[in-house]
Amino acid sequence: MSTPNYVVCLALVCFLSSCKLAQHRKQVAAGLLTTGLRNDAFLAEWGSPDRTYTKNGKELVEAGFRLFFKGHRVLDVWEYTEREVTLVFRGRGLVTWKTEKTVSELKKPAKKK
């Protein structure tokens, strides 16, 4: 009895997805922020954000974020107070961020309260 093709495809997608998450987690742990990083990589490495909210793209452009699209797209904003980082996601992918921290400063563990 052979395995159906959809099972093989599903297994391959799951494997590739887990590889991508591992790569994104390493990048977050190293303090290297780039567009497209998945939000679950931040959850795994930094834990839950201190504050979350949504904004439309226009509001964020006016707040000084570098967004390169027009319109009223709803974006998720995550604030990590201890790390002094604000992340903006469209869906699950990072689209922009705001911080004065360097890569080496972001690599360090957050201060304990």
Query: Domain containing 33: what range?
Result: 5-107
Locate 8 and state its tokens. Answer: 């093989």
Of the two residues 93 and 8, the one the predictor is more confident about is: 93
On whether residue 112 sits in a domain, the answer given is no
Q: What is the pLDDT of residue 67?
A: 62
Give SS3 for 15: helix
**Closest Cα partner for 33 from 102, 108, 113, 112?**
102
On whether residue 13 sits in a domain, the answer given is yes
- Mean pLDDT for 31-59 is 91
Alpha helices per DSSP H over 2-96: 5-29, 39-46, 57-62
On whether residue 75 sits in a domain, the answer given is yes
Compute the mean pLDDT over every residue in the chain, rounded to the nearest whole number.
81
On whether residue 113 sits in a domain, the answer given is no
Of the two residues 22 and 21, the one the predictor is more confident about is: 22
CB-CB contact of 55 with 68 (8 Å): no
Checking if the pLDDT of 7 tops 80, the result is no
On whether residue 52 sits in a domain, the answer given is yes
Number of domains, the chain? 1
In single-letter form, the type of residue at position 28 comes to V
DSSP one-letter string for 77-113: EEEETTTTEEEEEETTEEEEEEE---HHHHHSPPPP-
On whether residue 82 sits in a domain, the answer given is yes
Q: What is the pLDDT of residue 60?
A: 67
pLDDT tens-digit readout, 89-104? 999 999 999 999 999 9
Checking if the pLDDT of 31 tops 80, the result is yes
| Single pTM value for the model | 0.74
Q: What is the pLDDT of residue 69?
A: 58
Locate 3 and state its tokens. Answer: 């395995």
